[in-house]
Structure formats: structure tokens, C-alpha cells
Amino acid sequence: MASRPLLSAAFHSQSAVAALNFYNAETLLAHIRAANAVCASIILQTTESTINYLGLGLIVAMARAAAEQMENPVALHLDHGGSYQLAARCIEAGYTSVMFDGSKLSFSENCAQTRRVVELAHAHGVSVEGELGHVAHNDEATTDNMAGFYTGAEDALRFVAETGVDALAIAIGTAHGFYKGEVRLDFDRLAQIREAVGETALVLHGGSGVPEELLRQAIVHGISKINFGTELKNAFTLAVKESLSASDDIDLRRTFAPAIAAVQQISLAKIRICSHPR
């Protein structure tokens, strides 16, 4: 289903939806099992890199099969889509939610390009996430200069009004990748943005590595979707390395079993935080 109903339900229940990136059948299985264990809805995400790796047809088929196995509704979301063309391809293939990331563009160009994606997506019943401010990668930013990337409340209000997005990814202190120092989130800024944009869903990118208590506070202050990717990839890779070093077994089903379990454990923890923030 589209992500907007899931995010709206989360907003009204003062909770959030865990948005989990998947990269192969094993990580997808882990997310399915984790969501079913607590009977929760989740958003399954792929980046452009994963699309290039698996192909749109296979991703959509896998997600549809996953949805049939899940007890609660699920959305398939394009994470950090960089162009109108990619969003259009995903919509045509069967994605129910797309993101257009124009955060490195000028404000006016970001609005114009995002609005174009919204018009196409809404005509097909697909939800759209935009980004304002810039959630940096840890290679780009330090705690001293991160504030330069942050989202302003007035800009957020104008962006939502001009684009019609269903969800808005904002920058309040998180980053992509592994954190190099203490994570600090600007909750006063988040509260101001939340008040400015009304019921438009707010999204926190870079959820991996953020302490549980900060994630819970972010939800209480108005975040409705939290993205997780780095921790999932790391858990999978470490488990596979350990499995391969411990045995000469060439049966991939046994090799990958510990990796599935490792990702499932993290997915479950993140889903629980999002579903029960208080």
C-alpha cells in the first residue's frame, strides 16, 4: 500500500514506522520475520544502488511476495531517488512510495522538481517523500558544521505548501553511515518544524547508530518515519564473515542463516522502538 496511510496512522498514535532497507532475499526475509513477530507495519526500502543490483522487476516481485506473507500492511519505497526519471520508473514498476531527494539543489529547483514527481505519483496513488535541508554523510560533516545542513521551520512550511509532498525528510543532526562522535539532535528545531507543517509526516534519515532514547524522543517530538540501513548491512556482513570463517560448508542456506538472524534481531529492535516510543 502507499506509505501515506501508514504514516498518518503513526502520526495520530504518536508512534513511527520503521523504514528498513533491503538488499537481497536474506535481508528481506529478516524484515518479514521481525515485523510479523510484533504484528507491525513497516516500509521496505531500496536505494538506486540496490535497483541497479537486483533490477526493478525482481525487487517489486519480492516485495509483493513479502506483503503476502506479512500480517500487517507494508509499503515499497524508493529511498533517495535522485531524478524524476527514476521515480517514474519505480512508479511504473509498482512501487507504492517514492522519494525525490533534491536537497542539494536550490530551494526553488528542489520545489519544482519535487512538485513534478508529486504530480506524477499522486496520479497513480503513490506517496511522495521530499527532503529539505541535507542529511549529510559522516564523511561530509562534523558536529561543528552539521548545523549548516539543518532544516528551517519556515522553509519547511513553504516547501510542503509548494510541493504537496506526503512526507518530508528533515535535517536535525543525523547523518548517513557510522557516527564518528556523539549524536546530537535539535529537538527544539524539530518541534518548530512539526508545528509549522501540520500533519505532514516528518522523516528522520540516518537512524542507524542513533541511541534508542534519542530515537524515542524524536518520535515524541513528531517524527513519523525513521530510516535504517547501515546497521542492517553491517550486521549481515559481520555474520557472513564469521559463518564463512567457522566452516568450509558450501551450503549457502546454512551460511546465510546466522546473517538473517542477525539482521532480524536489529530490525525487531528498531520496529519496537518505533511502534512503542514511550
In this predicted structure, the answer to whether residue 144 has a pLDDT above a threshold of 90 is: no
pLDDT of residue 238: 97
pLDDT of residue 135: 75
> Is 251 one of the annotated active-site residues of the chain?
no
Mean pLDDT computed over 212-220? 96
Q: How many whole angstroms separate alpha carbon 236 and alpha carbon 146?
A: 29
- Tell me the H-state helices in the chain: 3-12, 25-37, 48-54, 56-69, 84-93, 107-123, 153-163, 187-197, 212-220, 230-246, 252-275
pLDDT tens, residue by residue, 78-135: 999 999 999 999 999 999 999 999 999 999 999 999 999 999 999 999 999 999 997 7
For residue 27, give the DSSP letter.
Answer: H
Mean pLDDT computed over 251-269? 96
pLDDT tens, residue by residue, 7-37: 999 999 999 999 999 999 999 999 999 999 9
pLDDT of residue 182: 83
Q: Which triple of cell numbers denotes residue 42?
A: 513497516
- Rounded to the nearest integer, the mean pLDDT of the chain is 94
pLDDT of residue 109: 98
Q: Name the phi and psi angles at 20, rounded to 5.
A: -110, 120
Beta strand 17-21 with 167-170: parallel, antiparallel or unpaired? unpaired
Q: Structural domain of residue 10, as residue ranges?
A: 3-275
pLDDT of residue 176: 74
Q: Choose among 132, 78, 84, 87: nearest CA to 105.
A: 132
Beta carbons of 155 and 197 less than 8 angstroms apart = no
CA distances from 113 to 75, 106, 141, 152, 274 (A): 23, 10, 26, 20, 30
Q: What is the CATH number of the domain that holds 216?
A: 3.20.20.70
Q: How many whole angstroms separate alpha carbon 28 and alpha carbon 18?
A: 14
pLDDT of residue 175: 83
Q: What pTM was estimated for this model as a whole?
A: 0.94
Q: How far is CA 191 from the centre of its chain?
A: 20
Beta carbons of 10 and 218 less than 8 angstroms apart = no
pLDDT band at 179 (very low <50, low <70, confident <90, very high): low
In this predicted structure, the answer to whether residue 213 has a pLDDT above a threshold of 60 is: yes
pLDDT of residue 7: 98
Identified catalytic residue from 79, 101, 166, 186? 79
Number of domains in the chain: 1
pLDDT band at 141 (very low <50, low <70, confident <90, very high): low
**Which residues neighbour 60 within 8 Å (Cβ) at sequence distance 6 or greater?**
76, 93, 94, 95
Beta carbons of 63 and 44 less than 8 angstroms apart = yes
- Give the CA diameter of the chain: 59
Burial of 254 (0-12, 13-18, 19+ CB in 10 A): exposed
